[in-house]
């Protein structure tokens, strides 16, 4: 059984995007970049996105600017195998990307049963909510910024039921960001 | 100069309480997974020992007053809960309310009532006095207002191991709040994470 992880940057009050999709509040510290580099360098996971997050990612990571600012992370992101969920199929411009459309819950359930790499969802609130409702997520990893936003998009929205969690790890970064790892208990 | 310290529990997704103002949903799941977890009580007692004033909004004051006074003598309560009860009974309490009367403070006669219009000035005055910490439990309406008016020094938030998806948000949507992480704490046999922040002072 492949493991499915959801990895996200959150404000202290549960938003993963501020007003107008703003993510500038997130601390992109050097230490966090190293953590992402190390995770990507292991090349252990397929990266999963919803369409919106994919559009955001593809507009940044393949650019010269990304290669200059975060060379290791950009190389890792570009090289990694990627799945993007989309209501309708499209031709992805990002390298190593496969589009999954149709009944994505059933498709991910099948993929989890098949042999292969683990998977990590980045961003993608809609996908996280859908997969949470179907009990498909094995681990949540949240990078919590020391900021409370006035408004924005909550990472969990309209989930069908509460999710009880087991705390499996925590890590503090110099920037004040706290990484928290949880597994759902009903697993 | 004394500190105002806000000590609250919240869900991982930032809720102060669940739908219908139900605060117990923050604890329900903990008992299944972490049956011996006393970290919340233990940390509250730690903060009470460091404080000499408990500052509350009316709703939290009445809720606490309806529960804590008799716990000290309840043989079924845990030792830490009996200690919290004794500390809550002994500490000087300040309530911000326009409706509460002094007759209604029974049996907590060591309660001072401050009207809302005087709250900022009176709390600033309390902060200027010497003494131990000024502690806020619960009282999210009150402390969000104090936070927006630069009267809170630290936020000590216990993040419970549950996603609620709905409820009363911990923060009420005022301008963005920048915090500085002081430290974090976890406990064996607990899914709680205590994150302690210093409020970044507004530039004047």
Nearest to B142 by CA among B17, B16, B53, B57: B57
Rounded percentage of chain A residues whose pLDDT exceeds 90:
80
Please report the ipTM that was assigned to this predicted complex: 0.92
SS3 B146: helix
Report CB contact under 8 Å: A154, B14. yes
Instruction: Return d(Cα B148, Cα B174) in angstroms, integer.
Output: 7
Q: Residue B204: which pLDDT band, with cuts at 50, 70 and 90?
A: very low
Q: Which tens digits make up the pLDDT trace of B54-69?
A: 999 999 999 999 999 9
**Apex CA B162: angle with CA A131 and CA A57, to 5°?**
45
Long-range contacts of A70-79 (CB under 8 A, 24+ apart): A70/A28, A70/A33, A72/A33, A72/A37, A72/A40, A72/A41, A73/A33, A73/A36, A73/A37, A73/A40, A76/A36, A76/A37, A76/A40, A76/A41, A76/A43, A77/A40, A77/A47, A79/A43
Q: What is the pLDDT of residue B201?
A: 66
Tokens of A139: 């681990």
Tokens of A170: 């925590």
Nearest to A35 by CA among A181, A176, A173: A173
Nearest to B69 by CA among B121, B125, B107, B15: B107
Q: Which tens digits make up the pLDDT trace of B67-106?
A: 999 999 999 999 999 999 999 999 999 999 999 999 999 9
Q: What is the pLDDT of residue A40?
A: 80
Chain A contacts to B (CB-CB under 8 A): 11-15, 18, 25, 132, 142, 144, 146-151, 154-159, 161-167, 170, 172, 176-178, 180, 182, 185
Report CB contact under 8 Å: A14, B176. no
Please determine, for residue A70, whether its predicted confidence score (pLDDT) is greater than 90.
no
- Largest Cα separation within chain B, whole Å, is 52
Please determine, for residue A60, whether its predicted confidence score (pLDDT) is greater than 60.
yes
Instruction: Return d(Cα B122, Cα B8) in angstroms, integer.
Output: 23
Q: What is the DSSP string of B39-56?
A: HHHHHHHHHHHTEEEEEE
Chain B contacts to A (CB-CB under 8 A): 12-15, 18, 25, 28-29, 32-33, 157, 159, 161-165, 169-171, 173-181, 183-184, 186, 190-193, 195, 197
Q: Which tens digits make up the pLDDT trace of B130-175?
A: 999 999 999 999 999 999 999 999 999 999 999 999 999 999 977 7
Residue in B closest to A160 by C-alpha: B165
Report CB contact under 8 Å: B13, A156. yes
């Amino acid at each position: 059984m492949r493991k499915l992880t959801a990895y996200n940057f959150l404000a202290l009050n549960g938003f993963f995007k501020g007003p107008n999709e703003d993510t500038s509040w997130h601390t992109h510290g050097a230490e966090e970049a190293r953590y992402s580099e190390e995770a990507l360098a292991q090349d252990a996971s397929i990266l999963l996105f919803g369409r919106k997050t994919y559009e955001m990612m593809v507009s940044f990571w393949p650019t010269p600017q990304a290669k200059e600012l975060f060379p290791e992370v950009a190389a890792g992101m570009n090289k990694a195998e990627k799945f993007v969920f989309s209501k309708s199929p499209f031709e992805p411009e990002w390298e190593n990307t496969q589009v999954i459309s149709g009944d994505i819950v059933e498709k991910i359930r099948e993929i989890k049963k098949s042999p292969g790499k683990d998977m990590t969802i980045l961003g993608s609130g809609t996908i996280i909510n859908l997969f949470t409702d179907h009990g498909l997520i094995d681990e949540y990893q949240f990078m919590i910024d020391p900021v409370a936003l006035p408004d924005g998009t909550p990472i969990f929205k309209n989930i069908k039921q509460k999710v009880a969690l087991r705390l499996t790890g925590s890590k503090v970064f110099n920037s004040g960001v706290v990484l928290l790892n949880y597994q759902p208990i009903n697993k | 100069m004394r500190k105002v310290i806000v000590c609250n529990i919240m869900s991982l997704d930032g809720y102060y309480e669940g739908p219908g103002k139900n605060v117990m949903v923050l604890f329900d799941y903990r008992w299944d997974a972490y049956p011996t977890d006393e970290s919340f009580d233990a940390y509250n007692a730690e903060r009470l020992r460091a404080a000499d004033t408990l500052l509350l909004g009316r709703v939290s004051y009445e809720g606490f007053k309806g529960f804590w006074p008799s716990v000290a003598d309840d043989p079924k309560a845990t030792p830490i809960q009996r200690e919290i009860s004794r500390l809550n009974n002994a500490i000087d309490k300040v309530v911000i309310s326009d409706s509460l009367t002094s007759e209604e403070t029974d049996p907590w006669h060591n309660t001072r009532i401050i009207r809302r219009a005087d709250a900022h000035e009176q709390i600033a005055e309390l902060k200027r006095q010497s003494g131990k910490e000024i502690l806020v439990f619960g009282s999210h309406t009150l402390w969000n207002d104090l936070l927006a008016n630069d009267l809170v020094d630290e936020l000590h938030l216990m993040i419970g191991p549950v996603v609620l998806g709905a409820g009363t948000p911990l923060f009420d949507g005022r301008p963005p709040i920048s915090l500085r992480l002081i430290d974090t704490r976890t406990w064996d046999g607990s899914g709680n994470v205590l994150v302690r922040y210093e409020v970044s002072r507004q530039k004047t």
